[in-house]
């Protein structure tokens, strides 16, 4: 066919099911002038991110679930702002969290973990030789079965109660094709 315009309402296979291929290897299909609707398996959803709205106290050697109640995004209502848990549909997810302690005690350690069903799957440990602010970031890919839940937990071993800042956050999204 010579260069031209093809105008149709629906494209289907001759059998009514199967694969429709647009273009050939090495060609580019340009859809810049239109919109594309992706089915649910082609989207990075569910996705969420929530942050802590104010500083919170973390007692010595005590796991504290990060109280990230301020949702920035929650595409499928899978994040619970009262339990601080993400309970996604089945699939593989990239999960991430950040915590910061203000004026952290010298020569002590802060931990940040992402947990699956209450057990740590990824932990980042950080300490400082001087009294200073200390931040931890952890990112991890984990599979969910549709009933699993994830949360972010902070722990510190300063010997006294420490203050985690409102800069703490927790988030995640489904990986396409994983």
> Distance between CA atoms of 165 and 167, rounded to whole angstroms?
5
CB 108 within 8 A of CB 131: no
> Distance between CA atoms of 134 and 46, rounded to whole angstroms?
31
Report how many helices (DSSP H) and strands (DSSP E) the chain contains, helices first: 0, 13
Residue 42 has pLDDT above 70, yes or no: yes
CB 62 within 8 A of CB 168: no
Strand partners for 177: none
Q: What is the pLDDT of residue 129?
A: 66
Percent of the chain having pLDDT more than 90? 60
Q: What is the pLDDT of residue 40?
A: 63
Q: What is the pLDDT of residue 90?
A: 95
> Distance between CA atoms of 132 and 15, rounded to whole angstroms?
67
Q: Tell me: domain 43-174, CATH 2.40.50.100, correct?
A: no
Confidence class for position 61, pLDDT limits 50, 70, 90:
very high
> Distance between CA atoms of 66 and 31, rounded to whole angstroms?
42
pLDDT in tens, 122-167: 999 987 766 788 899 999 999 999 999 999 999 999 888 999 998 9
Confidence class for position 78, pLDDT limits 50, 70, 90:
very high
CB 165 within 8 A of CB 101: yes
> Distance between CA atoms of 39 and 36, rounded to whole angstroms?
10
- 118 or 132: which leads in pLDDT: 118
């Amino acid at each position: 066919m010579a260069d031209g315009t093809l105008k149709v309402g629906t494209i289907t296979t001759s059998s009514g099911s199967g694969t429709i291929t647009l273009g050939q290897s090495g060609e580019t299909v340009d859809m810049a002038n239109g919109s594309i609707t992706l089915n649910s398996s082609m989207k990075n959803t569910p996705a969420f991110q929530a942050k802590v709205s104010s500083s919170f106290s973390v007692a010595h050697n005590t796991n504290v679930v990060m109280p990230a109640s301020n949702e920035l995004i929650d595409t499928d209502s899978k994040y619970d702002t009262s339990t601080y848990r993400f309970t996604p549909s089945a699939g593989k997810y990239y999960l991430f969290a950040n915590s910061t302690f203000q004026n952290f005690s010298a020569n002590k350690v802060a931990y940040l973990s992402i947990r699956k069903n209450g057990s740590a799957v990824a932990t980042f440990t950080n300490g400082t030789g001087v009294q200073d602010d200390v931040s931890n970031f952890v990112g991890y890919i984990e599979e969910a079965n549709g009933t699993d839940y994830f949360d972010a937990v902070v722990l510190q071993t300063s010997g006294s109660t420490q203050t985690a800042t409102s800069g703490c956050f927790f988030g995640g999204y489904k990986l396409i094709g994983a």
